[in-house]
Amino acid sequence: MNSLADNIVGFAQILRQLGVRISIAETIDAVNSLTIIDNFDRDEFRAALKSTLIKNAEDQAAFEQTFNLFFVPPEAKQEQREAWDSKQQLDLEQSQQAQEELVFQGRPLDIPDELRDVYKLLPEMEKQRLQEFLEKTSTGHNVKESFQPVVENLLKSSLSFWQRQLSPEDLAQLAAARRQLLGYDELDHVVDSAAGLGGTGRNPLLYKNMQDIAEHEIPQVTSLIKRLAHRLTTRISRRFRMTGRRKLIDIRQSIRRNMRYGGIMISLKYKTQKIHKPNIVVLCDVSASMTKYVRFTLPLLFGLSSVVKNIESFVFATDLEKVTGYFRGRDDFAQVTEELISSSAQMGQGTNLYIALTSLEAQYKKLLSPSTLLFIISDANTLAPLETAGELSLISKKVKRILWLNTQPKERWSQNSAIPLFSKHCSMFECYSLAHLTKILSLNLTRQS
C-alpha cells in the first residue's frame, strides 16, 4: 500500500470480505472525506471512514475490529503478519499430513476439501481409528484397486457424521478459512484476524444461534425482529407519487398546470418516491425437526405481523394451518404463543411441505399474486422432495419471489439432497441468527437475484 487512498481501498476490500456492503461510490466518498479532516487525528479519521462506509448498526463491530487491526504502526502490523504466517504454515502442515494419511494402497483418496478440513479437526483418537481402518482395508486379503471407491464412500460417511457433530461456530470458522481471503497477504491476515475476533460493542444476541436462545431473551429478540421488519415496509420504490409537500418538481405536471398562465411557472407540482409495501405470505415450519427453532420462528411471525399490514401467516408440518388471526392486534407475545401452541394441530408433527403448498394453492390462491413475496422458514427436511420441488416451480410463476430462510448452517446443505431441487425455484438464505435475518432484510427482496 503506497498511499493513504490505496489503504482506504484495501480497508474497504477487507470489510467487503467480512460481509459489509460497500459500493465504489462509498469508497470514493471515504477517500474524499479525508480532504476535510485532520488526517493526524485518529478519532476524526475513524469517524470519517465510519460515516461514509457503514450504513447498518450491525456492521459497526466488523468496522471497529478491522480498523483496529488495519491502521496500526508498522511494528504491530509486522507481528500480525508473523502470526498469520505461522498459522498458514501450521495449516499447510496439517493439510500435508491429512494428504499422507488418507490413502488407500498408497494412492490418495478422493475426499472433498470440506471433509478434509473436518478430518484435520478430529480428535487424535478418531484419526487413529480411521488410519487403522485404511491400513487394514488396504492390506486385506484379495482387496483390489477397484475397492477404492467403496473405501472413499465409507470414509466420507464417517467424516460427514463428524461434520454434523461440529458446532455452527466451528462450521462457520471452517467456511471462513476457505472463503474470506482476498489472495493478498498484506490484507488476508487482517481478514482472518477480524473474522476470528468479536467486535467491540457487538450485540451477542445478534449472532447467537436461535436454537440456543434463552426464555428471558425472547422479549429482546421480538423487539429486534419488529425493528428489522420495518425494513420490509419502508423500501423506497422507483415509482413516484404526487405530493403536496415541496419535494422534487414534477416538470410534466407543472407545465400542464401552468398552461392557463401562458406557460409561466406560477404554481408548481411536486412528486416523491413511493414507499413499497409488498404483500407477504409466510409459511413457518413447526414440525418436530424445527422444534428447537420455534423460539426464533414464532417471534419472527409475531414481529412481522405487528409491523407489516399486508401479511398472511401460516404454520405447517403435515399440512397447512392459517395463524394470521393469532397475531393481528395483539401485544402480548407470551399469550399469543401459548394459545397457538395449545390449539395448533401442526406443532411437532412430521413435515410434508408438498401437501402444505398444494393446500396453499388450492385454498388461498388469491394470495399468490405477482406482488406477493412468499417466505418459507424451514430446515428443508421434508417428505416427497421431488413433488415439493414441482409445486415450488408452479407457485414461483405466480408470485413475485419465493424466499426460503433455511435454519440449517450452509455448510450442512450439501448433506440434504433436496436443497438443490428447491433452490432452482426460490432464493434460499442461511438464517439461524438475527445477524442473518438483518442481512437478508437489508437486501432488495423484491428484485429477483
102 pLDDT above the threshold of 70: yes
Is pLDDT at 179 greater than 70 in this prediction? Answer: no
3-state secondary structure the chain: CCCHHHHHHHHHHHHHHCCCCCCHHHHHHHHHHHHHCCCCCHHHHHHHHHHHHCCCHHHHHHHHHHHHHHCCCHHHHHHHHHHHHHHHHHHHHHHHHHHHHCEECCEECCCCHHHHHHHHHCCHHHHHHHHHHHHHHHCCCCCCHHHHHHHHHHHHHHHHHHHHHCCHHHHHHHHHHHHCCCCCHHHHHHHHHHHHCCCCCCCHHHHCCHHHCCHHHHHHHHHHHHHHHHHHHCEEEEEEEEECCCCEECHHHHHHHHHHHCCCCCCCCEEEEEEECCEEEEEEECCHHHHHHHHHHHHHHHHHHHHCCCEEEEEECCCEEECHHHHCCCCCHHHHHHHHHHHCCCCCCCCCHHHHHHHHHHHCHHHCCCCEEEEEEECCCCCCHHHHHHHHHHHHCCCCEEEEEECCCHHHHHHCCHHHHHHCCCEEEECCCHHHHHHHHCCCCCCCC
Most confident of 68-82, 206-220, 241-255, 357-371: 357-371
Between 58 and 68, whose confidence is greater?
68
| Half-sphere exposure at residue 395, Cβ-oriented, CA atoms within 13 angstroms | 33
pLDDT on residue 426 = 92
Whether 410 contacts 175, CB under 8 Å: yes
Residue 284: all three cell numbers together: 413457518
For residue 404, report the phi and psi dihedrals to the nearest 5 degrees: -105, 120
Sheet holding 248-249, edge to edge: 235-243, 270-276, 248-249
Could you give the CA distance from residue 381 to residue 386 in angstroms, rounded to a whole number?
A: 12
For residue 254, pLDDT beyond 90: no
Is the pLDDT confidence value at 363 over 90? yes
Report the distance separating Cα 40 and Cα 35, nearest Å.
12
pLDDT at 201: 44
The per-residue pLDDT for 423 is 92
Q: Convert the pLDDT of each residue in 106-140 to its tens digit.
A: 888 888 877 888 888 788 888 888 888 888 888 87
Is the predicted pLDDT of residue 284 greater than 70, yes or no?
A: yes
Of 249 and 197, the one with more pLDDT:
249
List residues bridging with 377 in a β-sheet: 284, 405
Q: Please state the rounded mean pLDDT for residues 89-105.
A: 84
The answer to whether the beta carbons of residues 355 and 319 sit under 8 Å apart is yes
Q: Please, what is the average pLDDT of the chain? A: 80
CB proximity list for 263: less than 8 A, separation 6 or greater: 255
Q: The whole model's pTM is what? A: 0.64
CB 387 within 8 A of CB 359: no
Give the whole-angstrom CA distance, residue 412 versus residue 414.
5
Q: How confident is the model at residue 376 (pLDDT cuts 50, 70, 90)?
A: very high
Q: What is the pLDDT of residue 449?
A: 53
Report d(CA 275, CA 260) in Å as an integer.
Answer: 33
Q: Which of 21, 20, 71 is nearest to 46 (CA)?
A: 71
Burial pattern 334-360, b for ≥16 Cβ within 10 A else e, equals eebbeebeeebebbeeebbbbbbbbbb
Q: Which of 194, 278, 244, 239 is nearest to 13 (CA)?
A: 194
Cα Rg, the chain, nearest whole Å: 27
Q: Residue 289: name the closest of 232, 341, 345, 352 by CA.
A: 352
Q: One-letter amino acid identity for 397? A: K
Could you give the angle at which helices 218-233 and 333-343 cross, rounded to 10 degrees? 90
**What's the confidence (pLDDT) of residue 195?**
63
Tell whether the model's pLDDT for residue 200 goes beyond 50. Answer: no
Instruction: Retrieve residue 93's grid coordinates.
Output: 502442515
Q: Would you state the pLDDT for residue 198?
A: 44
Q: What pLDDT, on the 0 to 100 scale, is given for residue 338?
A: 81
Mean pLDDT of 278-299: 83
What residues have CB less than 8 Å from 75, skipping those under 6 apart? Answer: none
Give the closest residue to 109 by CA, choosing from 150, 152, 140. Answer: 152
Span 6-50, pLDDT tens digits: 888 888 888 887 778 888 888 899 888 888 887 678 888 889 898
Angle at 206 between CA 203 and CA 212, to 5 degrees: 115
> pLDDT at position 250, please?
83
Average the pLDDT over each of 171-185, 241-255, 269-283, 354-368 and give the range with the smallest value.
171-185
**pLDDT for residue 244 is more than 80:** no
pLDDT at 303 over 50: yes
Stretch among 50-54, 247-251, 396-400 having the lowest mean pLDDT = 247-251
* Residue 394's pLDDT band (cuts 50, 70, 90): very high
